[in-house]
Amino acid sequence: NLNLLGLREPQLYGTTTLAQIQEDTERLAAELDLACDFRQTNHEGVLVDLIQEAREKNAGIVINAGAYTHTSVAILDALNAAELPVVATRLTGIPEIVRPGETGLLFEMEDVDGLRAAIEQIQAQPQQAAAWARQGRRLVEAEFDQRHNVARLLSLVVETTHIPQSQQFMGA
């Protein structure tokens, strides 16, 4: 739904349109002497494909995955596999994954100067950016592993429903 930015719920998402964001992003990339491959899709699988494509041809990823940051294990896994520095907006659930100065950098929605500062920091510190990518991978493996999450969910179900030990779930 990012194609509806500036139109949809401007009190939450601001009045800047996606076209304006693209213009600002492309202008910023030109000022920083960087190539900009600006894409938008409403389809999760396409976004996964774009992230995988970036692994082969880009030095980093700037992303606003919208609601997918709350629900998509596939996008989380693709970002993990990309092993690239990630800069993301604070607008969505991505702060759970991109922790400033630990696994990447965040900037506020509509803050072109914040995006510039994040990109410049990655350019100035490529070893640090690579370390953030590695730490992001470790974070995903530790906190977002499917088996770990299922075990936590089952534990929560048992705890909140007070199921007797003899009737608890069996894991595969």
Q: Specify the pLDDT at position 165.
A: 57
CA distance 81 to 133: 10
| Cα–Cα distance, 1 to 77 (Å, whole number) | 21
| Amino acid in position 121 | Q
Burial of 129 (0-12, 13-18, 19+ CB in 10 A): buried
SS3 at position 86: strand
- Residue 48's pLDDT is 94
Give the predicted TM-score (pTM) of the model: 0.66
CB–CB of 30/119 below 8 Å? no
CA distance 9 to 27: 26
Please, how many CA atoms are within 13 Å of residue 167, restricted to the half-sphere of its CB? 7
Nearest to 110 by CA among 26, 13, 11, 36: 13
Buried b (16+ CB within 10 A) or exposed e, 99-116: beeebbbbbebbeeebbb
**Given this model, what pLDDT does residue 84 score?**
86
Q: In which residue ranges of the chain is pLDDT below 70?
A: 69-70, 90-96, 144-146, 149, 162-172
pLDDT confidence of residue 136: 79
